[in-house]
Amino acid sequence: MLINTYNRPDKVFISGKGMKLYDEADSEYLDLVSGVAVNSLGHCHPEIIKTIKKQSEKLLHISNLYHTAEQSELAEKLVGLSDHDKVFFCNSGTEAVEAALKIARKYGKLKAHGKSKILYMKDSFHGRTMGALSVTGQSKYQNEFKPLIGGTEQCEFNNLNDIIKKMSGACAIIVEPIQGEAGLIKAEVKFLKKLRELCDKWNCLLIFDEIQCGAGRSGSFFAYEKFGVIPDVVCMAKGLGGGIPIGAVLVNEKADIFVPGDHGTTFGGNAFACAVGNTVLTELVDKGILYTVDKKAELLKGKLELLKKEFDLIEEVRGIGLLQGLKLNENPGNFIKYALKNNVLLVGAGDNVVRIIPPLNVEVGEIEEIYIVLKNIFQGFKGEK
């Protein structure tokens, strides 16, 4: 019945609570995928449920032809947390990237002598629509859909010399502070700082894709804060909605170039999604969950390092905040399947990495549970082999 776009396992999940999921037989699973960094407060957080019930009886959608209090409140919160001035709301990370690319092209045309080239990084992942795909540095996602959108050029990640050689004609550089789908590979601080300098020198925009690593996942609300580099444009989504679809593009004064008619969205930033986004931010920021992430991330990383010492299958622990990963010395597909058979949900990434993505409100005791469960999985997998 469904178009075959995902290789789904033969499981049907019915409900969830916190880090736990339950299938049709009411079997319990430990969810270390969190909707691929979407469920920032876990499954069915009581405050999100409360907001959903309340907002559903109040207002769902009226279109962006009109203001809503919920959208204005969320915009004000995001601007207040950021170094940026304006927000555009959409429905997903890919849509956020598409908006950012349009901002870049218009900026180049009007403010940078008609420059139109957009530089992107090898092994990056920015989405599956044609624009986002055209700045995604992985040919396996691109090949069947060529020709892609022109005027883009791939650069080596963390290679300043390669960037410098390709700056001529560029209106923007798009980069992930940490390449999630490539295997949780962090940008070097000096690399991002140099990109900032180059964009200022060459009059082009610096775009950060924080779709996976943003919204508190890194330990600061915006990942760029961890690197000490302020981009002109920030793309975010995933954890911002805690499970409800929402994306956002933040721009500084330099990149605030759209006027009515330049871009739009039917559902983006509707009252329902923004109400939930406001609740997520209240829990993360006002109630302080965000300020516990660094400490919990340190504890989780320590536990993963213990696993590395215990099992030769693990080559490296890598990641940032509560976006951690285990690089294995073989393709992790069979390991992930074995984990699912043993009621643990894991997700892979490039470079043989298994991502460990708990909700941001994970408790200290739950981190110990993660360690014990993963240890048992590794032991069982080793024995099975």
Residue 152 assigned to a binding site: no
Strands 28-31, 323-328: pairing kind: unpaired
Residue 282 assigned to a binding site: no
Helix (H, G, I), strand (E, B) or coil at 224: helix
| Amino acid present at 143 | N
Residue 51 assigned to a binding site: no
Residue 266 assigned to a binding site: yes
Residue 180 assigned to a binding site: no
| Amino acid present at 300 | L
Residue 209 assigned to a binding site: yes
Alpha-carbon distances of 285 from 26, 220, 385, rounded to whole Å: 34, 10, 45
Helix (H, G, I), strand (E, B) or coil at 262: coil
H helices present in 136-254, as ranges: 139-142, 160-165, 189-202, 224-227
Residue 125 assigned to a binding site: yes
Structure tokens at 55: 């907002």
**What's the CA gap between 138 and 142, in Å, rounded?**
7
Strands 178-179, 185-186: pairing kind: antiparallel
Residue 209's nearest CA partner among 297, 296, 195 is 195
H helices present in the chain, as ranges: 34-37, 46-56, 69-81, 93-111, 130-133, 139-142, 160-165, 189-202, 224-227, 271-281, 293-310, 333-341, 364-384
Residue 94 assigned to a binding site: yes
Residue 93 assigned to a binding site: yes
**What's the CA gap between 3 and 309, in Å, rounded?**
42
Helix (H, G, I), strand (E, B) or coil at 329: coil
Binding-site residue ranges for pyridoxal 5'-phosphate? 93-94, 125, 209-212, 266
Binding-site residue ranges? 93-94, 125, 128, 209-212, 265-266
Binding-site residue ranges for N(2)-acetyl-L-ornithine? 128, 265
